[in-house]
Amino acid sequence: MCRLFALSSAPHRRRATFWLLQAPDSLSTQSHRDPDGTGLGFYDAEDRPHLHKAPLAAYEDRHFAEEATDVTSTTFLAHVRYASTGELTRSNTHPFLKDGRLFAHNGVIEGLDELDAHLGADRNRVHGDTDSERFFALVSRETHARGGDVAAGITAAASWVAARLPVYSLNFVLTTPRELWALRYPDTHGLYVLPRTVDETHRGRELEHRGTAGRMRVNSSALAAAPSVVVASERMDDDPRWRLLEPGELLHVGPELTTRSTRILRRGPAHRLTTADLGAEAAASQAAG
């Protein structure tokens, strides 16, 4: 399945190093499918968003993904893609950018013709052909319709999809320069949160997170003595305070690292998909290690 990683140190800018893809370190990883794309989104000192991403369609692309990337930002959003819909192109590689917000998704939404019809003219804001970017366009439209209230926009968009479209998983993270939102829905895949406070657990301990099967590594010595909040699709160290989000839980990390959770979806999708319902490519993307 796709890998999600997000980090907020807002309102302070901190430096972090990302390896979005690492060479397999054991023979067991040889049975896993190779990723189809990697991406990193962050904000500069003027709060302008930047995307550092590429599909993994050639050897040169893989080399690009394995290089260390040093960035400084208030919020960070990283993604390793296993394609379920869409070609291996940059426009289909996460994260996506709209209205100054960054978005990355792990899962599958079907019924795209109906979603396109619901988007109407906003379908023109979708530059690729993934289900993920279409959903992000819907979130962006609903957020604009609600005066910029991101949580309300997410709730409206997710509720519409859950009630009308076939859904396998709708896990995602959305960031701005000062805030972060994460939704786990339904319970198909995990999505975890870790508040890193400056206490005896983390004092003097730099942030060092590693994903499984060499899929992502993040390091920040700047966060050894500074608080942060991490959201990831898997536990990435041995800290016992990782918490699995509840199905339908929308997590908001505010400008001062305050966290608030709201259960915006209490029922499962009206048309819940299983792996058996997916096409071969989509099923492989959700099972990949």
Cα 190 vs. chain centroid, distance in angstroms?
A: 12
User: Rounded distance, CA 93 to CA 82, Å?
Assistant: 10
- What does pLDDT average to over the chain? 88
User: Rounded distance, CA 183 to CA 151, Å?
Assistant: 10
User: Mean pLDDT, to the nearest integer, of 80-105?
Assistant: 86
Would you say residue 230 has pLDDT above 90?
Answer: yes
- The DSSP call for residue 241 is T
Helix runs in the chain, H state only:
59-66, 112-119, 131-145, 150-164, 280-287
- In 3D space, the residue among 265, 284, 285, 104 whose CA is nearest the CA of residue 187 turns out to be 265
Would you say residue 164 has pLDDT above 70?
Answer: yes
Q: Say what the pLDDT of residue 25 is.
A: 47
Least confident range from 80-89, 101-110, 223-232: namely 80-89
CB–CB of 182/250 below 8 Å? yes
pLDDT digits 0-9 by tens, 182-229: 999 999 999 999 999 876 555 567 899 988 765 788 999 999 989 999
The structure tokens listed for 51 are 């995307």
Would you say residue 141 has pLDDT above 50?
Answer: yes
pLDDT digits 0-9 by tens, 38-81: 899 999 999 999 999 888 765 556 676 778 899 999 999 999 87
